[in-house]
Amino acid sequence: MSRIFSVLLMILVGGFGYFIGWRMNSGAGGKMADTYKLIRSYYVDPVNADSLQSAGVRGMLQSLDPHSIYLEPEKAAITQSNFNGNFEGIGIEFDVVRDTLLVVTPLAGGPSESAGIMPGDRIIAIDSKNVIGIKPSAVLGKLRGERGTRVSLKVYRPLTRRTIDFLVTRGKISTSSIDAAFLDDARTGYIRISQFVETTGSEFHNAVQKLRKMGMQRLVIDVRGNPGGYLDQAVVVADELLPAGKLIVYTKSRHGGDDQMKYVATSGGIFEKGQLCLLVDRGSASAAEILAGALQDNHRALLIGELSFGKGLVQRQFKLPDDSVVRLTVSRYFTPSGRQIQREYDEGLQGRERYYKEMFTRNLPGNFMKKYGGLMYREGQDISVYSTGNLLKSASADSLRAVLAKAGGIMPDYWVFGKPTSNLYQELYAKGVIEDIALKLIDDPSDPVQKYRSSVTSYLNGYRVPENLEALVRKGCADTKVTYDPAEFSRDRARIALALKARIARHLFGTEEQIRVLVREGDPVMKVARHFIEKKAS
């Protein structure tokens, strides 16, 4: 950058700052300043100036769309470190179960693993302060910190009934946005992307490379529950899968410039050929929908699952002087065919609340699918599969288009309805009964699960949940005041057993193996994906 250009840029920035200051002291900005003075001068109680300013910023953003938000400095720092794909801390995956901080697994190569902390350990004190009853939101603040600093941990190890003191030196921890990457069968790879962070593109490339060396010829990518993240990383992943010249996504903004872009695939992607499926659900949002739209519009992959979230707004992050952050919507994105997938919303706080609540309650598109979609396959009450290809031809096109435009999202090629879970099953998860049973079995030195600790392969192939599962569930319900329903247990026994096996796998071997158990033994959407990917390959 030349010196002349730098000077001009400084003049422009200074001029912009002067303009903003002038606006803030006149018109609408004057109202804010006058109200602030009135509160400071006349309000009955003392007020905190920073809190008032933060509330003002938050209020302005809440009057806009549901995705423009304000983050306090501490939350902004944690969020940014997650999106960066690394942070500084002790390196554990954790849960808070029954008020106790539980080590799910120490991250491979991290400080905790090096110190000898093991899966299943309970952290009962941090730096000599009791942490029984700690809230999940408070854990990161205590365990993360500057690289090279130390933290003392008092750990209870149930398997040996011992309490052990550890001194762990914090270090740089690399996190992964890919929760699992394994072969589902000899030729089919499976990759789950949990979010799109700065490292997702390179992580995905490495995962595909690893699976191809193992013999992978076709691929299932799972972005169910993926809330999105960096747009450019979704573009990188799409670029690995699409041939050169294919449009991936474009954005439109009233400001033009960097907020109005077009992204096109380049040559040399690692999996530009080969059968491909993408799994989506109502939790697949933003960058996940960019990937889905690019693959669907370019006829590169089959989309299987359910209608996605419907977020087509792009945010840019602006850092304020106190290190808080404003994440402001600056443009809208469109799929290659020109679809704008942002679902309908009302501005303001109430509209924002309705918008997120509807993520879990918008059943209307699904009802239309059951009524007008093409039923392709049904397996008792467990699985129903509908083709969406002729949907608009089956109902009044105008009325259905209005429904789908309001609902937004990316429509899968095949919509899968699974058997709804019973109230008992939902309560077992919500009240932590399945988690408690898993921990009791893992902590019992005499339980048969102990012989599977050293081999994930033998665990996956050989472990069976106890025959007295019903008795364990009954006791767990009694302990947590969950109403036990024998009929619901009988109907969902296989699902409860699978959830327990998966939970034990997570504690013994990590998240990837938990996902492998669920995907391999009980995932209806994955079962449908296997059918179509094999059919298309034959």
Question: Which residues are designated catalytic?
Answer: 286, 297, 311
For 209, list phi and psi in degrees, rounded to 5: -60, -45
**C-alpha distances in Å from residue 5, one per residue of 1, 275, 325:** 7, 50, 28
Picking from 70, 139, 138, the residue whose alpha carbon sits closest to that of residue 323 is 70
Among the listed residues 94, 140, 97, 102, the one whose alpha carbon sits nearest the alpha carbon of residue 121: 102
Contacts of residue 122, Cβ cutoff 8 Å, sequence gap at least 6: 100, 101, 102, 103, 155, 156, 157, 158
Asked whether the beta carbons of 434 and 421 are under 8 A apart, the reply is: no
For the record, the structure tokens of 98 come out as: 């029954």
Contact 160, 151 (CB under 8 A): no
- Distance CA(426)–CA(299), nearest Å, equals 37
Q: Are 77 and 99 in contact (CB under 8 A)?
A: no
**3-state SS assignment for residue 390:** coil
Are the CB atoms for 102 and 120 separated by under 8 Å?
Answer: yes
Which amino acid makes up residue 324?
S
What's the rounded Cα separation, in Å, for the pair 266 and 245? 6
Residue from 148, 149, 92, 142 nearest 117 by CA: 92
Contacts of 22 (CB under 8 A, 6+ apart): none
Strand-pairing partners, residue 252, are 332
Distance CA 239, CA 233 (A): 10
Per the listing, tokens 């077992």 go with: 428
* Residue recorded with tokens 């499976």: 190
Q: Contact, 498 vs 517, CB < 8 A? A: yes
Which residue in the block uniquely carries the two structure tokens 């309970």?
122
